[in-house]
Chains A and B, each alone.
Chain A
Amino acid sequence: GAGVSQSPSNKVTEKGKDVELRCDPISGHTALYWYRQRLGQGLEFLIYFQGNSAPDKSGLPSDRFSAERTGESVSTLTIQRTQQEDSAVYLCASSATGDTEAFFGQGTRLTVV
């Protein structure tokens, strides 16, 4: 596609439910990143995929968070047993290689009620 696509754009969920967020990177981009951005805050690194290498999961805040990527295409971020502190915008980005500029999607705004 023309850009990084994320879905859904907005998600409201009840505390304790699981949610799945989707990211379609730019075609051909080998690197994919997930970030969390709380209201008025910075970009908090969550996880990084680069080609066929093992993902860098060092930013995942707890074992309730997990992510997968199929080859060099779609990625899903799953949050289990959501908590109110998980409310944030979840941003996905991709880059052509692991050291070039990152292109961001518009994000998924998650609200846990």
Chain B
Amino acid sequence: GQSLEQPSEVTAVEGAIVQINCTYQTSGFYGLSWYQQHDGGAPTFLSYNALDGLEETGRFSSFLSRSDSYGYLLLQELQMKDSASYFCAVRDQAGTALIFGKGTTLSVSS
């Protein structure tokens, strides 16, 4: 089976940078994904890492280290609208279920 660990809450101010960590345990490994969910909304895809290193998409970046079974989501130039829950998710092989962590609630204040 798979298990994922991420902090339950993170707080930051507008304009700051925040990093949300995720460690995982899987029998195999087929990529680490990140999803964002606003209160009352549906989760939406943010990023996917299959190989080690940093993937950058605008203000958001995601990092993976397969040897450490670790990844993080980096959010820069935080805005109030970034207040949401962020979930990391893994598959242990292609064509299998996507398993999510318990989520990190990010609160951005002015």
> For B33, what are the chain A residues with a Cβ–Cβ distance below 8 Å?
101
Pair A99/B95 contact, Cβ less than 8 Å: yes
Question: How many Å lie between the Cα of A109 and that of B69 in the bound state?
Answer: 34
Pair B101/A99 contact, Cβ less than 8 Å: no
Chain A, range 35-86, C-beta contacts under 8 Å to B? 35, 41-43, 45, 48, 50, 53, 56, 58-59
Chain B, range 42-56, C-beta contacts under 8 Å to A? 42-45, 48
- Taking the complex as formed, is B31 at the interface, i.e. its CB lies under 8 A from any CB of chain A? yes
Interface residues of B (CB under 8 A from A): 30-31, 33, 35, 41-45, 48, 87, 91, 94-103
Chain A, range 68-113, C-beta contacts under 8 Å to B? 91, 93, 95, 97-99, 101-107
| Minimum C-beta distance from A94 to chain B (A) | 11
Question: How many Å lie between the Cα of A102 and that of B100 in the bound state?
Answer: 12
Which of B43, B45, B97, B102 lies in contact with A48, CB distance below 8 A?
B97
Question: How many Å lie between the Cα of A104 and that of B35 in the bound state?
Answer: 10
Residue of B nearest to A102 (CB): B98
Interface of B is mostly: loop
Which of B45, B87, B96 lies in contact with A101, CB distance below 8 A?
B45
> For B99, what are the chain A residues with a Cβ–Cβ distance below 8 Å?
45
Pair B98/A107 contact, Cβ less than 8 Å: no
Pair A99/B30 contact, Cβ less than 8 Å: yes
Pair A33/B43 contact, Cβ less than 8 Å: no
The interface on chain A, measured as residues whose beta carbon lies within 8 A of the other chain's beta carbons, has a size of 26
Residue of A nearest to B101 (CB): A42
Pair A50/B98 contact, Cβ less than 8 Å: no
| Minimum C-beta distance from A9 to chain B (A) | 11
| Minimum C-beta distance from A35 to chain B (A) | 7
Pair B97/A33 contact, Cβ less than 8 Å: yes
Which of A35, A91, A93, A98 lies in contact with B96, CB distance below 8 A?
A98
Pair B42/A105 contact, Cβ less than 8 Å: yes
Pair B87/A43 contact, Cβ less than 8 Å: yes
| Minimum C-beta distance from B34 to chain A (A) | 10
Pair A35/B94 contact, Cβ less than 8 Å: no
> For A93, what are the chain B residues with a Cβ–Cβ distance below 8 Å?
43, 98
> For B91, what are the chain A residues with a Cβ–Cβ distance below 8 Å?
98-99
